[in-house]
Amino acid sequence: MEKYLLAGGLACAVAGAYSDVRSGRIPNRMTYGALLAGLAARFFVSGWTGVLEGILATLICGGVFLVFFMLGGMGAGDVKLMAAIGCWAGIRQGLITMLATAIAGGLLAVGYMVFYHRASRTIHNMGSLLRFHLTSGLRSHPEINLKSPDAVKIPYAVAIAMGTVYSMGLLLLRR
């Protein structure tokens, strides 16, 4: 039965990536619908214990991504998408999926950096961000964030989908 949960998480990730690439947005109806469907699926697979695990995984996965949103590094749709995928994945698989997503996001960022010829600018910005956060704490940088007109916006749902397909897809194939 767990394979249905994994398949649901994969479907959420792919749909979110498609929407993000196509329109630069991940609609609330998609993320909230995926979250509610995940909770319902967990109830049918594992009862209230499954629902509780889904809620905890949602809070963990969404909470980790919320930090990056608050720092100005990603959009709210990415946070809600990862939270919904966490609901389908569960706590353990959600953590693995976040790690795989971080690796995929790093690879995607390097690809964008090379494609847009922004290597030196990116390295400079990383140093500026590090200095800023060390002196000012964890808050959004006033200039280096997604609202900056110079920002190269990466559809991070693609990285989320890559990490989800890798971590959950491999697990699904093994079952």
Q: How crowded is residue 50: how many other Cβ atoms within 10 Å of its Cβ?
A: 20
* Mean pLDDT computed over 81-103: 97
- pLDDT, residue 141, reads 83
Domain range list for the chain: 2-174
* pLDDT tens string 94-121: 999 999 999 999 999 999 889 988 888 8
* Mean pLDDT computed over 73-88: 97
- pLDDT, residue 163, reads 97
Amino acid symbol at 8:
G
- What whole-number distance in Å separates Cα of residue 3 and Cα of residue 19? 24
DSSP the chain: -HHHHHHHHHHHHHHHHHHHHHHS---HHHHHHHHHHHHHHHHHHHHHHHHHHHHHHHHHHHHHHHHHHHTTSS-HHHHHHHHHHHHHH-HHHHHHHHHHHHHHHHHHHHHHHHHTT-HHHHHHHHHHHHHHHHHH-SS--SSSSTTSTT-----HHHHHHHHHIIIIIHHHHH-
Q: Which residue has the tokens 């699926």?
A: 41
* Mean pLDDT computed over 42-59: 97
**Considering the entire predicted model, what is its pTM?**
0.89
